[in-house]
Amino acid sequence: MNDQAARRQMEGNEFFLSEGWLSIDHLITTQHSFRSVLLSPSRVNRFRSYMNRPALADVPVYVADHDVMRAIVGFDMPRAVVMSMNRKPLATPPELMASSSRLLVLEGLNDNENVGAIARAARAFGLQSILLSPTCTDPYYRRTVRVSMGEILHFRTARASHGEWAHVTAQLHAAGFVTWAMTPSMGARSLWDLAVPDRLAIFLGAEGPGLTAEILEATSERVRIPINSDVDSLNVGHAAAITLAAISR
């Protein structure tokens, strides 16, 4: 479970692994379906209350002692609750554009904790759709799900292919979206000075490199959050939360 590359090769687009009680509560209400559950003995009694839920009907539940659990998951997990889930099919970028008026677009984010934090903030401020670039991390990686407090499991999510990503801003503009590229650049417009359009797509880039020059050039506006000049920039998760709070006020 702690080898992301190996897991992606094994899971593909078929299933993913999640952990913890909070994930169960969220997963029961999503379109992801349970394949199986793995428990440590100390978690059996608490899990019994879930057994009558329709989402868990006929789902195999395995119980393994400490040494077996450690061998299975790859590290020490003494109080484990682990679920194997069938992935619901991802939406396509055109489907998201047709069904959303607010859209988060993530380019090249590979820090799972940042993606989880962004998803948690986005759900808190009413967004339901995330569009990922081809190089973004898996949205259902276990750490992403955990940091999002399970909220990412509820999103309508699409991943653009390399061919689709090359034209993503043009497609958004054709669908009636105004596009904002979030950047700390002093040449960008202040978030506080902009009117919020009816249809808005907000682009966020990875920590360090930020958005590519191509995206910065193609979007409708470059937008910054005014901060103390002694500070270089904000964490991308914090920047997302501030931006989403501002547009939803």
The label of the residue with tokens 């055109």 reads 94
Inter-CA distances, 132 with 12, 111, 186, Å: 17, 13, 26
Over 90: is that where the pLDDT of 12 sits? no
CB neighbours of 242 closer than 8 A, spacing ≥ 6? 191, 225, 234
Q: Is 143 a residue whose pLDDT tops 90?
A: no
Number of H helices, E strands in the chain: 11, 11
**Residue 164 predicted with pLDDT over 80:** yes
Mean per-residue pLDDT of the chain: 92
Give the integer Cα–Cα distance in Å for 189 and 201. 16
Residue matched to tokens 């190089």: 135
Percentage, residues of the chain above pLDDT 70: 99
When mean pLDDT is compared across 2-16, 88-102, 110-124, 167-181, the lowest value belongs to 2-16
CA dist 148 and 150 (Å) reads 5
Could you tell me if 43 and 17 are in contact, meaning their C-beta atoms sit under 8 angstroms apart? no
With the C-alpha atoms ordered 217, 125, 84, 206, is the resulting torsion angle positive or negative? positive
Q: What is the mean pLDDT of residues 117-122?
A: 96
All structural domains of the chain? 4-86 (3.30.1330.30), 93-248 (3.40.1280.10)
d(CA 131, CA 152): 12
pLDDT tens-digit series, residues 26-70: 889 888 899 999 999 999 999 999 988 999 999 999 999 988 988
DSSP reduced 3-state for 182? strand
